[in-house]
Amino acid sequence: MSHLTPWTKRIICLVILLCLATAATPRLFEFNDNTFSLTPEITGTAKTGNNETRILAAIDDIRSGNMADARATVDALLDEQPNYRLAQLLRADLYAMRAMPLETIGGGVASAPGDALDDLRKEALVRIAHRNEDQATANKLPANIVVFAPNQKYAILVDASTSRLYVFANENGKPKRIKDHYVVVGKLGVDKKFEGDQRSPLGVYFVTSHLTRPQLDKTYGALADLYGVGAWPISYPNELDRSQKRTGYGIWLHGSPAATYARAPQASNGCVVLTNEEMLKVSSYLQPGNTPVIVAPQVEWLSESEWLQRQTAALALLSEWKSKWESLDANTYLNFYGAEFRSAEGQTLDAWRNQKTTVNTGKTWTKIQLSDISIFAAGENSTQLVTTFKQDYRSNNLENQMRKRLYWQRSEQGWKIIWEGAAAI
């Protein structure tokens, strides 16, 4: 080809290249050639139910190797709740598991911050633990709800150990479980003692009011989003908290920020937080000024016969206290009071004893009636009782009516009153 001109050589090379390209092109698009066929992904069936039921079903499917259904369920959840971080984590894991097996939840996003992964794993674990526990406690009653007052339609019970909120209805005086939800408590857990300790309080409280989202927007501006659909303040610090010098304020039941479907089990500054959807459901059972909110370190579950025994014993205790007061026998009456007792006015046990002994010297008879009684239990293993009632007191030289509250503490010496006074709410 030495006699050919440079342009002729270029044209011949171009023709050869075009011929080769033409021959190769059909090979790339021969779909019937097994060398280039792709295996289609199996289409799964999404589980139905509420969001928690579905997230747990997805975890079950992953554990059992049913990845197609797990993917379908997670995808459906995220279509509805795109900010559901636990579902986002499972989706990342499902993609990662196409290439390699994973040993733990979140193994597919190893580059994510460790704290964030730990929080999501904790959320998954407490949801799983609740499901397992729920099967064992479904037919049991909570020791924390002892006696409903007649006008109390519902009670809220928070189990801090399982991040669970229960709604109980007053069914002819007996607590009937009607709803339960995953909740978030304080970043540093429970047993609040002072302002800013990032703990949720333990005890018996009452819903005091309802702060709507428009009210929150007006008061807090952009920060109102922290409370989601609204807030329902509770009565922390209660009478006993104040007598024990516990501080803090602004403890609410409230919803979640718009960008976050659910948070870690311990992520609030002390409030009890639900998803917005579930907060709205719970709100229909809240009566400001009336609905108790009991926050327990761990709920004690009882059989019906055990629960009835507890109720009978608590009512008998209150009745015996009233009877000894009516008897004008100061010594036996004062045996109901503990060494750490404080009255609403701040009196110690010695000051209380002196006052009652002096008052009784001027009495010839006393008659006391108690009505609208409620009794709720708090503390580890239900070691605190909170009794509230309308008291109608009559004697030969005095008559008065009040709504009273007694806080009792169980000790080696039995049940002792540690605070007495007018009920704040």
Tokens of 101: 């097996």
Same domain, 156 and 251: yes
- Which residues are CB-contacts of 299 (< 8 A; sequence separation ≥ 6)? 142, 143, 144, 157, 159, 161, 162, 166
Give dist(CA 404, CA 391) in Å, integer: 7
User: What is residue 112's predicted lDDT score, i.e. its pLDDT?
Assistant: 58
Residues known to be catalytic: 254, 271
d(CA 223, CA 300): 37
Which of 172, 378, 182 has its CA nearest to residue 266? Answer: 182
pLDDT (tens digit, 0 to 9) for every residue of the chain, 425 residues total? 445 555 454 444 444 444 444 443 333 223 333 443 444 567 899 999 999 999 999 999 998 989 999 999 999 999 999 999 999 999 988 888 877 777 777 777 666 566 888 899 999 999 999 998 888 898 999 999 999 999 999 999 999 999 999 999 999 999 999 999 999 999 999 999 999 999 999 999 999 999 999 999 999 999 999 999 999 999 999 999 999 999 999 999 999 999 999 999 999 999 999 999 999 999 999 999 999 999 999 999 999 999 999 999 999 999 999 999 999 999 999 999 999 999 999 999 999 999 999 999 999 999 999 999 999 999 999 999 999 999 999 999 999 999 999 999 999 999 999 999 999 99
Q: Kindly state whether residues 166 and 293 are assigned to the same domain.
A: yes
**Alpha carbons 270 and 412: distance in angstroms, whole number:** 32
And the tokens for 169? Answer: 């209805």
For residues 147 and 173, the answer to whether their CB atoms sit within 8 Å is yes
The total domain count for the chain is 4
Q: At what angle do helices 85-96 and 51-64 cross, to 10 degrees?
A: 20
pTM of the model: 0.87
User: 179 - beta bridge partners?
Assistant: 167
Tokens 């501080």 sit on residue: 247
Domain's final residue, options 269, 299, 329: 299
Q: Per the domain annotation, does 292 fall within a domain?
A: yes
- Give exposure, 300-310, as e/b (b: 16+ Cβ within 10 Å): bbbeeeebeeb
Looking at 259, 280, 299, the residue that finishes a domain is 299
The answer as to whether 43 is a domain residue is: no
Tell me which DSSP letter residue 163 carries. Answer: T
Query: At 20, is the secondary structure helix, strand, or coil?
Result: helix
Q: End-to-end CA distance of the chain: give it in Å, rounded.
A: 107
Final residue of a domain: which of 74, 105, 134? 134
Say how many C-beta atoms besides its own lie within 10 A of residue 296's C-beta: 26
- b/e map of 126-141 (b: 16 or more CB within 10 Å)? bbeebeebeeeeeebb
Task: State the angle between helix axes of 67-80 and 85-96 in degrees (0 to 180), rounded to the nearest 10.
Answer: 150
**Does 176 map to a domain?**
yes
Domain assignment of residue 79, yes or no:
yes
Instruction: Confirm whether 241 is domain-assigned.
Output: yes
pLDDT of the residue at 6:
52
User: Are 96 and 25 contained in the same domain?
Assistant: no
The secondary structure of 211-230 as a DSSP string is EEHHHHHHHHGGGGGGGTTE
CA-derived radius of gyration, the chain: 32
Do 230 and 354 belong to one domain?
no
**23: how many CB neighbours lie within 10 A of its CB?**
9
**Same domain assignment for residues 252 and 352:** no
Residue span of the structural domain in which 231 resides: 149-299
- Among residues 149, 118, 138, which one has the least CA distance to residue 292? 149
Give, in order, the Cα–Cα distances in Å from 159 to each of 163, 167, 201, 249: 6, 11, 12, 21
Q: Are residues 275 and 240 in the same domain?
A: yes
Please indicate, yes or no, whether residues 415 and 320 belong to a single structural domain of this protein: yes
Q: Is 282 helix (H, G, I), strand (E, B) or coil?
A: helix
What CATH number should be reported for the domain holding residue 373? 3.10.450.50
Residue ranges of alpha helices (H) inside 41-113 are 51-64, 67-80, 85-96
Kindly state whether residues 80 and 185 are assigned to the same domain: no
| Claim to verify: residue 153 and residue 242 sit in the same structural domain | yes
| 345 and 363 co-located in one domain | yes
Most distant CA pair in the chain, distance = 142
Interatomic CA distance for residues 335 and 201, integer angstroms: 29
Q: Please say whether the beta carbons of 166 and 293 come within 8 A.
A: no
Together in a domain, 195 and 228: yes
What is the pLDDT at residue 136? 87
Pair 195, 308 in one domain: no
Helices then strands (H, E): number in the chain? 11, 19
In a domain, 40, yes or no: no
Task: Tell me the C-alpha distance between 188 and 202, whole Å.
Answer: 13
Q: What confidence score (pLDDT) does residue 116 get? A: 82
| Residue 271 domain-assigned (yes or no) | yes
d(Cα 323, Cα 366) in Å, to the nearest integer? 10
Residue 264 falls inside a structural domain: yes
Residue 53 bridge partners (DSSP): none
Residue 61 to residue 64: CA distance in whole angstroms: 5
The strands making up 211-212's β-sheet, listed across from edge to edge, are: 211-212, 230-233, 252-254, 272-273
144, 300 contact by CB (below 8 A)? yes
**Alpha carbon of residue 372 to chain centroid:** 28
